[in-house]
Structure 1
C-alpha cells in the first residue's frame, strides 16, 4: 500500500512525500528541489493551492505558473478545482492544468468530500475525462465503526474501480490501518 505523507520537512524521508502546508497550500519550490536531491528514491508530489487568493483568474494563473516552475515531481495536488463556491467542477481549469502537467499525476484534494454523494458518480466521470489520476476523500472526521458514514466512500471506491485512484485522507498511521481493515485501498494520504 502506498501512503502519501504531507510534509514540509526535507530532513525526514518518505516513500511518497506530498509537499503542502497544513491547509494544503503550496510551499516553496526550493524545498522540493532540495528534497529531491537528498532523497532521489522518493516520489514527490506538490500542492499548487493558494487559498488566500480570492480572484479566480489570478488563482488559476498562479497554479499554471507553479506547475511550469516546478522541479521534477511525480504529480500535483489541487484542492481548488470547484467552480467558485459550488459543488461543480471547473472543467476549463482542470483541462488546462491537465495539459500543462502532461503525463504526471493530477490529484484533486479532499474538497471532493464537499460534493454531495449523489453527484459522486457524475463527478468521477468528469474527472476521468480531464485525466485526473486520483481523488482524495476526507475521512478524518468519520467514525470508522459507523458503517453508514463509510458507505459513500465504499460506493465511490466500487464505482471508480481501476479507472481513478480513490485516496482516503486520514490523520494518522493508526487510522490508516483501521480504515484499510474495513475497506482495502491501494493508496492512503496522512494529512
Structure 2
C-alpha cells in the first residue's frame, strides 16, 4: 500500500520529481526521501536506501571511491529523478537523453544512490564530484547552479549519467564571475554575461 503524499508535505502536491518533493516537504530530508520512494511503490532495500543513514552518511557516498564504481541499474528510478517520468528507452533515438537544468539536489541524489559516478568526467571536464563541490560553495553564497548532461540507456553497456556543463541564471557578482572563470575557463564553450553563466565541455 502506498503512503499518502500528504504525510510528507501536509497536502498533495503531485510532485513531478524528487527535488520538488523534497522542497515541498517540511520533514527531515532523509525521512522525506524515504517516504518519497515508498510513495513510488519502491522497496527501499531494492534501491539501496538504509533507513538508518543520516544526511552526512549520504554526503559521504558522493565522494570518489578508490574501488571500482558499481552503477545502480534501477534506471526507472534514475529517470524519475532526472526527468520526472520513466523513459521508454526502446524508442529513444540514440539511446541517450539530454538534460539542461539538472539541479544540485538532483545530482546529489543521483550520486548518493550510485546512478552517477562522482569520479567520472566528460573528456576534459571536471569530475562530477568537482562540479558538485564548486556548486556547493556557490550555493552557500546564494548562487545556485544547474547542470547540463545526458543519461545513457540501460540497454547499453556504458549505462551512466554524464555531466558536461553547468549554468547559472541570476545577478552575477564580480566574485562569482571570477570564481566561475577560474573553475570553467578551459571549457570548450563558455558564456559570461551579467545575468547568465554557462560552461560546456565537448
- TM value normalised by structure 2: 0.30
Larger radius of gyration: 2
- TM value normalised by structure 1: 0.31
The higher relative CO (CA closer than 8 Å, separation ≥ 6) is in 1
